[in-house]
Structure 1
Amino acid sequence: MKNQKRILGAAAMACIVAGTLAGCGNSGTDKAESSAVVSSEAGKKEESTADGNVTELTYWYCWTDKIQENNLEMTELFNETVGKEKGIHVTAEYQGTYDECHQKLQAAFVANEMPDVSVMEISSIRRFAENGVIEPLDSYIAASGVDMTDFYDALLLNGEVDGSCYGLPYLRSTPIMYYNNSLLKEAGYDGANLKTWDDLKEMATGVHEKTGKYGISQYSYTWTLDAFMIEHGSSILNDDETATNLNSEAGKEVIGFYRDLIDQGVVHAFNSNESDKVTADVQNEDTAIWFSSTGDLTKFASIADELGFELGVGFIPMDQCYGTPTGGCNLVMMSKIPDKKKEAAWEFINFMTDTEQTVKSSIKTGYLPARKSAGESDTMKAYFAEMPMARVALDQLAYANRAAYSNPNYTEATEAIKSALDAIYINNSDIDTTLADMETKVNKILNQ
């Protein structure tokens, strides 16, 4: 069945809660405190308005490092400005990865212990909206006069469900190509000239032959795989999200391209749960090219600065066309909170996604400036002039022309896809047989 509304009953939600509680250990991906909660302040401030009333809000966010710093700093700024003026205090709480946060939100919905505002990975917004977990924002947008045309069109695609807006773009991203230009130059190349898949093969192979280092490091990642598929005139799923396109000429071409380079020792391939090993290759200056989110720009720039190599950034190399999916999160409001808290939650969402805060968040983290007014502001222009790499993902956004997948079973389907990629790239499994088996599994999952 095609993306029809799925209303989770008590039994289904109970299963989700059980699974969530069973998975409450520390994430191996996020290097964070053993506690899943990090307050935006050492203790809640005793802020008060003239009548002594303060509306307390809880905000759930994901990821650590610069992203965590940004969330805490922006929350504190809200508390010191709009919050102080309007009698609102927000406490920011860390919830791990997007998947971990979504599991906790489902459990909290059942227990009626929801936060008030949360980040939500864009492909999950439809599922949470259709299940009544998050609140439509249309009335708040209209009352506040928010100019929705100021957001980049490609970033609005996943916030709308059945004609209503359920989330405003916050920390948004596309995958981009990173490269160690010092290593490329050692092999006689310049990453600025890396535009096509032919260039990619030539430079990656040349680096390996001339320096002994890897031309490319990558793990089995479905987001970048989707970018590769788009550039070959296809995508991971078909248009109505009922079947995968990977067991096709385009899919075999993309996957075969990397498999051939792996066999030649040009590509250092890792399992789907080993993204940290790509970063290790970068830190060891053992790889020339890798693909990751624009949200990792500040991290890789810091590594390059510390080690003294020249970092470069470019579009995902072109085959038939340029193309990219979008990712990242929107800010959403929970549906079961009192009306007074909804009004306060909107003030926080509006603040966090306004132009000035969008500029600060983009510069801090490397994520896209989600608003046109932010991208075209004097501050961002000056930043782009100082750090041209930061503009690459924004320019590439022009080639993002579809929403992220919102089939409620897509997360489960990606596990089957990643297992197939691991089998082909790591275990040398036959491409045709593995993709045929994967197609059967994925199509069944998508249509559950």
Structure 2
Amino acid sequence: MKKLLLLLVAISMIMFITACSNEADGQESDENTNTTEETTENTETEEETPEKATNDKVEAVFWHAMSGEGQESIEAIVDNFNQSQDEYTIIPEFQGSYEEALTKYRSVGGTADAPAIIQTFEVGTKYMIDSGFIEPVQSFIDEEGYDVSQLEENILNYYTVDDQLYSMPFNSSTPVMLYNKDAFKEAGLDPENPPPQTFEEIKEAAEKLTVKNGDNTERYGFSILNYGWFIEELIATQGGLYVNNDNGRSDSATEAVFNGEEGLRIFELMDEMNKAGTYGNFGSNWDDIRAAFQTENTAMYLDSSAGVTTTVENAPFEVGVAYIPYSEEAERNGVIIGGASLWMSNGIEEEKQKAAWEFMKYLQSPESQAKWHIETGYFAINPAAYEEDIVKDKWKEYPQLKVTVDQLQETKPSFATQGALISVFPEARQQVVTAMENVLQGTDPKEALDKAAEETNRVIEQANRANQ
């Protein structure tokens, strides 16, 4: 019965994710720009596929959700791994978006037909742990004595629960603030000394940056995508929690607390700026808000760190990158990692698990991470990659990338910046998006937030009941 209930919760999760997902990242969690193109599933049974390839290598399937440049980069890294040794062959298979990949995985998880590795976005962490379909990578870390201290602590923190690292971080990103340096100079602002950091500084700068032509606004001062990830981050950087029980880290979360003072400050900022005409509402589509920035319809906005290079390349003006803002009533704590990680299946042959583990380790090498960072914009999980010549050359060309890394590395480890663990995260995000839209349409900020928390509490209670 528990298995059936768990599947029902998972189905609900997939439906909500599909409704609110614009950029599988970040997708940033953001910010992966997958298409939803269906690919042919591997229908061979374990009996039909020999354990050894003709060259006597163990084959292990890797389901991923990267398209475009991300897919090209990861497939090149896989090829390098396959050629670097003579024991294992990793077979990468694109499975569509995160949602599509997870839907397919639910049908084979825990069986011999499951892929050895599956990429899952950060908000799927609690579900994956509870599913019983995965083998924590901590098992291999402990067995081998693998040194995780070489990896980025503020990325590992998200996927570490009860001192166990459950999955290996992969495509990781955080939000940053992008701003139009030319517009700053035009408005009499110094873009270097420094850019706005607090909510009050954002408000003041936005007033000067906003350009009106009669009743029309040609350029807004500041914008946030209607996407719940950014609210989570703006709460965390103030040291606030999203759900109770230490963000679901010390015990299962039972209620939302994102409607506390930290969340209210954000919604009041949006409300005040919207009424003042300095806040641009460009909806919930990543392409729309990025287009608004590049066409100079907004001077400052929040985006994923993985999108920085492309924006710098495409904007017809000089682009600045800064840390996300925080309330002057709080201290800056930093950011929560977004993106996705790699999970190892249980219920498959030990040799395939070993192949998966060897590939995960290879992926964390400085050389592999340097290649991944410069080709995709995602963080290097192994900071030693930043010392590689190809990264240093890239940073000379795009110094904005270093700002994203600095913000991550200056993050203070805490329950706030570790991020929340709830199995119904997608539903919670959708409630927050609804609250954002309502505030911009005139709803009182507290009323909108309390309503979102109330609806989130309802789905949390349903999920907890199903898991009992």
How does the TM-score come out when normalised to structure 2? 0.81
Change (3 A) 1:264 1:209: same
SS at match of 1:188: coil
Out of 313, 318, 328, the position equivalent to 2:321 is 313
Q: Does structure 2 retain, via aligned residues, the 8 Å contact 1:297–1:365? A: no
Q: CA deviation at 1:257?
A: 0.8
Query: What pairs up with 1:113-192 in 2 under 5 angstroms?
Result: 113-142=113-142, 144-192=144-192
Give the distance between the partners of 2:22 and 2:455, measured in 1 at CA.
27
Give me the identity figure in percent: 26
CA contact (8 A) 1:174 1:324 kept: yes
Report the Cα offset of residue 64 of structure 1: 2.8
Q: For 1:292, which of 303, 306, 312 is the aligned residue? A: 303
Partner of 2:56: 53
Distance 1:226 1:132 in 2: 27
Q: Which amino acid aligns with 2:277?
A: G
Bigger relative contact order, structure 1 or 2 (CA pairs below 8 A, ≥6 apart): 2
1:54-111 per-residue CA deviation (whole Å, 9 max, x = no partner) reads 32222122243332232222222223333xx22x333322233333333332233277
- Residue 46 of structure 2: aligned partner: none
Opposite residue 103 of structure 1, the aligned amino acid is: T
Pairing 1:432–2:443 present = no
2:274 is the counterpart of 1:262: yes
CA distance in 2, matches of 1:94, 1:222: 26
Which residue in the other structure is 1:43 paired with?
Answer: none
Matched-pair contact (CA < 8 Å) for 2:34–2:97: no
* Offset, 1:183: 2.3
- Which residue is equivalent to 1:344? 355
Equivalent in the alignment of 2:28: none
Q: Structure 2 residue aligned with 1:216, among 203, 219, 222?
A: 222
| Matched letter for residue 115 of structure 1 | P
Aligned equivalent of 1:253, options 252, 265, 270: 265
State how far apart, in whole Å, the 2-side matches of 1:19 and 1:112 are. 25
Moved over 6 A (4+): 17-25, 48-51
Describe the superposition over 1:127-152 as per-residue Cα deviations: whole angstroms up to 9, x where unpaired: 31232111122343345553200112
Aligned residue in 1 for 2:75: 72
Across the aligned residues of Structure 1 and Structure 2, the Cα RMSD in angstroms comes to 3.2
Residue 90 of structure 1 aligns with an amino acid whose one-letter code is I
Checking the alignment, whether the CA contact within 8 Å between 1:175 and 1:227 is kept in structure 2 is yes
Give the 3-state SS of the residue equivalent to 1:399 in structure 2: coil
Tell me the SS of whatever aligns to 2:402. helix
Aligned residue for 1:219, secondary structure, equals: coil
Per-residue deviation, 1:163:
3.7
Distance 2:240 2:10 in 1: 33
| Shift in alpha-carbon separation, 1:19–1:130, aligned structure 2, 3 A | closer
Q: Does 1:414 align with 2:429?
A: yes
Q: Give the Cα separation in 1 of the matches to 2:363 and 2:72.
A: 14
1:447 alignment partner, one of 449, 452, 461: 461
Q: Is the 8 A contact 2:110 2:347 kept in 1?
A: no
C-alpha displacement at 1:314, in angstroms?
A: 0.8
SS at match of 2:210: helix
Q: Deviations over 1:13-34 (max 9, x none)?
A: 2775699699999x97556373
Please list every run of 5 or more consecutive structure 1 residues that lacks an aligned counterpart in the other structure: 1-6, 40-47
Superposition deviation, residue 242 in structure 1: 3.0
Q: How much has 1:156 moved relative to structure 2? A: 1.3
- 1:284 CA displacement: 2.1
1:388 aligns with 2:399: yes
Residue in structure 2 matching 1:229, options 223, 235, 239: 235
User: Is the 2:172–2:338 contact (alpha carbons within 8 Å) kept by the matching residues of 1?
Assistant: yes
Alignment correspondent of 1:399: 411
Post-superposition CA distance 1:310-351 (Å, at most 9, x none): 111111123322222211222221112211211111122111
Between the aligned partners of 2:57 and 2:270, the Cα distance in structure 1 is 56
Q: Is the 8 A contact 1:247 1:439 kept in 2?
A: yes
Structure 1 residues 23 and 221, CA gap change in structure 2 (3 angstroms) = closer
Higher mean C-alpha displacement, 336-345 vs 102-111: 102-111
TM-score, length-normalised on structure 1? 0.84
Instruction: Give the equivalent residue in structure 1 for 2:201.
Output: 199
Cα 1:99–1:50 shift into 2, 3 Å:
closer
- Structure 2 unpaired stretches of 5+: 24-32, 43-50, 463-468
Relative to structure 1, the CA distance from residue 21 to residue 93 in structure 2 (aligned partners, 3 Å threshold; closer, same or farther) is farther
Counterparts of 1:111 and 1:15, CA distance in 2: 20
Measure, in 1, the Cα distance between the counterparts of 2:307 and 2:412.
19
The separation in 2 between residues aligned to 1:374 and 1:49, in whole angstroms, is 33
Provide the C-alpha distance between the structure 2 equivalents of 1:428 and 1:100, rounded to a whole number of angstroms. 36
